[in-house]
């Protein structure tokens, strides 16, 4: 491995911020970008204004709906490091997009609203991270408002998210009486100035028994802080970085993103403890970032921001080696060589062409329809990255083309949207009907809107009452044949020609499984 590659890997940290909508993910992202100088906005941010310049809102449809449909990438430099933030859509109907993005990061920050505590979407996303032992830092936001008691929140996080928490900062009051936090990690008192800019007061404070404490925060708050810090000391062991890296404990910070309070502490701790680019598993072997040969995978495909151009951007995470512009690489699934003349990196609002990129980086590849989610690109080796599954959908509709003259556009549009992972398309064998399966209802609107806007095709939906679609395989040829004959009317194929069973109810699924014990039913596409 070259020294340069090693240096570049050490500089990189790639992560995502996840939260339930409205907890403050966008605000926190903006503040982090401000620290990195990637965007420049003076003073406290009024989100509406800055939201327009935030890269995460670049699709027309999300402007309309006010939700972040697209997952975008923002990079910034801080303290000599290159930090890549992969933004994730907060809306639950786009959860699959988020799951896939989580395959491309090495750690996450979870934002929790101090008043609302752990919400539904947070639970789902954290459970996906836990499956992969992704290191997690928790940021409890909106301390300038009345919220739940700190200890209660930590208990709630442990109970609902299954995380072992480790507070590294501790709030002094909250809402009207919020005075700041004590940074247990760096032993500093940080005093909150409402509507604060970056000049909140930070005081080195090694010993909380020092009577100076009263001068800063008053008698009552000082007594409470001393008492609570003693409890913290008893309940929580000392912070161990390796436990965090192994996904065993999650450091917790308190702050207020909109007031830019506690954000710098979070960032300073993050750069010290968060992992550099980690190895990735493929079907063939483990790929280490330090390998000289380049390998990467596509985790997201985005329709072009400019609807006049049909091409798309495939987001590729670099897993090993150095990726270079204008170099021949192998598109493993298609078995063909490709070279990229305009690979793009994202520095907040700016896009620029990159000559080279390193493990942990995400580059955008202009694509005219060659890529699907999960595709691998390598220097020649046949590698298939794991952990980028499609989930079996649970909401279905039949889809019909409304304008016979536009059949081609309809077909092409559908095909491309499916490659992007917007939804899954099944073809029912016995009557040739197309069925779209999604994880959230909003996807149907997105598909309809985009087929019209980008492909000029009009579609009509009809209700399809299926409970689940699952992939089926069977080693016993005769048993499989019998199954196929008996369940002919319930079978369809997915885009890649894999056989799918469409169950009308959970009862029917259960019965079918019992009647055909040799057939295996799979609930994610990775089997
Ligand atoms: P999201 O991306 O997780 O969905 O949340 P976002 O950052 O958009 O924040 C949701 C709302 O919470 C915004 O208010 C934002 O200003 C507010 N917010 C974020 N951090 C804090 C904080 O520390 N304290 C308080 N009090 N509020 C915070 P909004 O009214 O929905 O939008 P806006 O009009 O302020 O932009």
The pLDDT tens digits for 205-230 are 888 889 989 999 999 999 999 999 99
3-68+106-273 CATH choice from 3.90.550.10, 3.50.30.30, 3.30.70.1710, 3.40.50.300: 3.40.50.300
Q: Is the pLDDT of residue 44 over 70?
A: no
Lowest-confidence segment of 58-62, 187-191, 254-258 by average pLDDT: 58-62
Break the chain into its structural domains and give their ranges. 3-68+106-273, 280-378, 395-522
Query: pLDDT class for 90, splitting at 50, 70, 90?
Result: low
To the nearest 10°, report the CA torsion of 201, 206, 211, 214: 30
Q: Is the pLDDT of residue 70 over 50?
A: no
Cα 197 to Cα 195: distance, rounded to the nearest angstrom: 7
pLDDT at 494 exceeding the cut of 50: yes
Between the CA of 141 and the centroid of ligand 1 the distance, in Å, is 10
Q: Who has greater pLDDT, 442 or 125?
A: 125
**pLDDT tens per residue across span 294-320:** 999 999 887 765 556 666 788 999 999
- Band (pLDDT 50/70/90 cuts) for residue 355 is very high
Q: Would you say the CB of residue 22 lies under 6 angstroms from ligand 1?
A: yes
Ligand 1 within 6 A of CB of 24: yes
Compare 201 and 162 and report the one with higher pLDDT: 162
Sequence-ordered strand ranges (E) for 200-310? 201-204, 250-254, 280-281, 286-287, 295-303
pLDDT recorded at residue 345: 81
* pLDDT greater at residue 109 or residue 38: 109
Give the mean pLDDT of 15-21: 92
Q: Are 469 and 424 in contact (CB under 8 A)?
A: yes
* Pairing verdict, β 12-19 and 81-86: parallel
pLDDT cut 70: percent of the chain above it? 88
Element (H, E) at 414: helix 407-419
Q: What pLDDT is recorded for position 1? A: 66
- Tell me, using a 6 A CB cutoff, whether residue 88 lines ligand 1: no
User: Which residue's CA is minimally distant from atom 9 of ligand 1?
Assistant: 24
Ligand 1 contact, 44 CB (< 6 A): no
- Give the position, in ligand 1's atom list, of the atom nearest the Cα of 145: 26
pLDDT band at 11 (very low <50, low <70, confident <90, very high): very high
Fold entry, domain 280-378: Rossmann fold (3.40.50)
Beta bridge partners of 522: 471
Please name the residue whose Cα sits nearest to atom 6 of ligand 1: 24
Spacing, Cα 485 to ligand 1 middle (Å)? 56
- Cα 201 to middle of ligand 1, angstroms: 23
Structure confidence at residue 318 (pLDDT):
97
Choice between 365 and 40, residue whose per-residue pLDDT is larger: 365
Helices 120-131 + 95-102 axis angle, to 10? 30
Rounded distance between C-alpha atoms, residue 451 and residue 449, angstroms: 6
* 342 vs 97, higher pLDDT: 342
Residue 309 CB contacts under 8 Å (≥ 6 apart), including other chains: none
Q: In which band, very low, low, confident or very high, does the pLDDT at 344 lie, cut at 50, 70 and 90?
A: confident
The whole-number average pLDDT for the span 96-106 is 88
Residue with tokens 């499609």: 390
Q: Please give the distance, rounded to the nearest whole angstrom, from the Cα atom of residue 39 to the centre of ligand 1.
A: 18
Distance CA 435, CA 464 (A): 8
Look at residue 335 and tell me whether its pLDDT is greater than 60. Answer: yes
Q: How much of the chain exceeds pLDDT 90, in percent?
A: 60
Average pLDDT over residues 88-112: 85
29 lines ligand 1 (CB under 6 A): no
pTM of the model: 0.85
259 CB within 6 A, ligand 1: yes
Task: Phi first, then psi: give them for residue 51, nearest 5 degrees.
Answer: -55, -35
Query: Residue 199: what pLDDT?
Result: 60
CA of 8 to the centre of ligand 1 (A): 35
pLDDT the model gives residue 48: 32
Q: Please give the distance, rounded to the nearest whole angstrom, from the Cα atom of residue 24 to the centre of ligand 1.
A: 5
What does the pLDDT read at residue 47? 36
Superfamily of domain 395-522: Peptide chain release factor 3, domain III (3.30.70.3280)
Is 67 or 384 the better-scoring residue by pLDDT? 384
> Cβ of 481: how many Cβ atoms within 10 Å?
11
Range 161-175 average pLDDT: 94
What are 472's two structure tokens? 């089926």
Residue 48 CA to ligand 1 centre (angstroms): 9
Higher pLDDT: 510 or 34? It is 510
If residue 471 lies in a helix (H) or strand (E), which one and from where to where? strand 468-473
On average, the pLDDT of the chain sits at 86
Choice among 92-96, 129-133, 268-272 with the minimum mean pLDDT: 92-96
CA 275 – CA 392 distance, rounded (Å)? 32
Task: Provide mean pLDDT across the span 162-167.
Answer: 94
Q: Do domains 280-378 and 395-522 have the same CATH topology?
A: no
Task: Find the mean pLDDT for residues 37-58.
Answer: 41
């Amino acid at each position: 491995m070259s020294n340069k590659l090693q240096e570049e890997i050490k500089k990189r940290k790639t992560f995502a911020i996840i939260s339930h909508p409205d907890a403050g993910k966008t605000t926190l992202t903006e503040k982090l970008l401000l620290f990195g100088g990637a965007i420049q906005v003076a003073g406290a941010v009024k989100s509406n204004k800055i939201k327009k310049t935030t890269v995460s809102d670049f699709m027309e449809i999300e402007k309309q709906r006010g939700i972040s449909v697209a997952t975008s990438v923002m990079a910034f430099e801080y303290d000599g490091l290159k930090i890549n933030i992969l933004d994730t859509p907060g809306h639950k109907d786009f959860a699959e997009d988020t799951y896939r993005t989580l395959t491309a990061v090495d750690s996450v920050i979870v934002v929790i609203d101090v008043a609302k505590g752990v919400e539904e979407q947070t639970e789902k996303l954290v459970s996906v991270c836990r499956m992969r032992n992704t290191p997690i830092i928790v940021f409890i936001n909106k301390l300038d408002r009345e919220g739940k008691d700190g200890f209660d929140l930590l208990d709630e996080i442990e109970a609902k998210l299954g995380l072992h928490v480790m507070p590294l900062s501790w709030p002094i009051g909250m809402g009207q009486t919020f005075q700041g936090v004590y940074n247990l990690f760096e032993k500093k008192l940080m005093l909150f100035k409402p509507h604060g800019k970056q000049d909140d007061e930070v005081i080195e404070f090694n010993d909380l028994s020092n009577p100076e404490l009263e001068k800063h925060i008053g008698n009552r708050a000082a007594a409470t802080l001393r008492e609570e810090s003693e409890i913290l000391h008893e309940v929580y062991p000392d912070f161990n970085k390796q436990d965090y890296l192994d996904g065993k404990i999650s450091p917790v910070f308190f702050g207020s993103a909109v007031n830019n309070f506690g954000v710098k502490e979070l960032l300073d701790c993050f750069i010290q403890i968060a992992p550099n680019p980690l190895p990735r598993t493929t079907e063939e072997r483990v790929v280490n970032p330090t390998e000289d040969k380049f390998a990467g995978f596509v985790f997201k495909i985005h329709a072009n921001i400019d609807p006049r151009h049909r091409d798309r951007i495939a987001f590729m995470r670099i897993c090993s080696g150095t990726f270079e512009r204008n170099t021949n690489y192998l598109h493993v699934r298609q078995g063909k060589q490709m070279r990229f003349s305009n690979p793009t990196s994202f520095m907040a609002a700016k896009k620029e062409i990159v000559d080279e990129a390193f493990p942990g980086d995400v580059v955008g590849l202009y694509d005219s329809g060659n890529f699907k989610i999960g595709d691998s690109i390598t220097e020649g080796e046949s590698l298939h990255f794991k952990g980028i599954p499609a989930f079996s959908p649970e909401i279905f509709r039949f889809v019909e083309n409304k304008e016979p003259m536009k059949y081609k556009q309809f077909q092409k549009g559908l095909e491309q949207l499916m490659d992007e992972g917007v939804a899954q398309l099944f073809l029912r064998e016995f009557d040739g009907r197309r069925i779209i399966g999604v994880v959230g209802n909003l996807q149907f609107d997105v598909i309809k809107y985009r087929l019209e806007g980008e492909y000029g095709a009009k579609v009509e939906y009809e209700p399809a009452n299926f409970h689940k679609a699952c992939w089926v395989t069977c080693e016993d040829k005769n048993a499989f044949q019998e199954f196929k004959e008996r369940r002919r009317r319930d079978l369809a194929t997915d885009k890649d020609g894999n056989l799918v069973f469409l169950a009308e109810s959970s009862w029917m699924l259960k019965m079918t499984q019992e009647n055909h014990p040799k057939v295996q039913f799979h609930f994610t596409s990775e089997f």
